[in-house]
Amino acid sequence: MQILTLSAQKREGVGKGVARELRRKGYIPAIIYRGGDSMPIQLSTKEFSIFFNKTGGEQLVVNLDFSDETRQALLKDYQIDPIKGGLLHADFQEISATEVMRVIVHIVISGEAIGIKRDNGILQYGLREVEIECLPEDIPGHIDIDVSNLGIGQSIHVSDLNLGEKVRVLTDLEELIVTVTAIKGEALPTETTTEASEPEVMKKGKKTEEE
């Protein structure tokens, strides 16, 4: 598993005013927690932005490098400015290399299903992420699923995932991840056509009797 490093500094102040001042100076306020303990920290906005864009939301272990120690952690949450789009805050969970932990991993769908390409079906999504349990070094950044061989009526469930013996899947194995279904066609208006034609037949019959 890839492990990246970020320079970090401990910070004393907390609150909105302190956070705004840090951002003006080129830092992102963050927090690292383990159990019930937490510690406010700050990261270089430029360095963290490069890390964030590079990982693309993948679940990766990061070394937080302080001046006197290094702590391993996972990026658990972050806040983005809804107007400017910049990063506002980050939450890290400190981990131990020997401690089994639970994490949420995103699912990435790839390929074009044969049921879509050949049979004009549609791809319907279920779960977009699953919960797993394993050691930090065995955490997958994401889970790849290739749907190229899926035909109409075929599906992939959590039970179909193969993550190896070191990873335990906690999500319900019956949960649907993706399926290919047929497009429902419009019903032909057969009854309407029959009803509309009957008065015309009756008129013709009446006209014949009069003649």
Tens of pLDDT, residue by residue over 188-197, are: 344 444 444 4
57 pLDDT band, cuts 50/70/90, is: low
Name which of 47-51, 147-151, 173-177 the model is least confident about: 47-51
Domains 3-95 and 102-181 share a fold: no
Residue 181 has pLDDT above 90, yes or no: yes
Domain segments of the chain as ranges: 3-95, 102-181
Superfamily classification of domain 3-95: Ribosomal Protein L25; Chain P (2.40.240.10)
Tell me the pLDDT tens digit for each residue of 129-172: 999 999 998 999 899 999 999 999 999 999 999 999 999 999 99
pTM to 2 decimal places:
0.72
Beta strands at 3-10 and 37-44: parallel, antiparallel or unpaired: antiparallel
Distance in angstroms between the alpha carbons of the first and the last residue of the chain: 93
What are the DSSP E strand ranges found in the chain? Answer: 3-10, 27-34, 37-44, 61-65, 70-80, 87-94, 101-110, 122-125, 129-134, 143-146, 155-157, 168-169, 176-181
Percentage of the chain exceeding pLDDT 70:
86
pLDDT tens digits, 66-108: 988 999 999 888 899 888 888 899 999 999 989 999 999 999 9
Of 169, 92, 179, nearest to 134 by C-alpha is 169
Residue 99 per-residue DSSP state: S
Pairing of β 168-169 and β 129-134: antiparallel
Q: Is the pLDDT of residue 175 over 90?
A: yes
The correct answer on CATH 3.40.50.460 for the domain covering 102-181 is no
Look at residue 30 in the predicted model and tell me its pLDDT. Answer: 94
- What letter would DSSP give residue 138? G
Query: CA 155 → CA 73, 85, 126, 159, distances in Å?
Result: 35, 37, 10, 11
Query: Average per-residue pLDDT in the chain?
Result: 85
Per the CB < 8 A criterion, the answer to whether 91 and 62 are in contact is: no
Quote the pLDDT of residue 55. 80
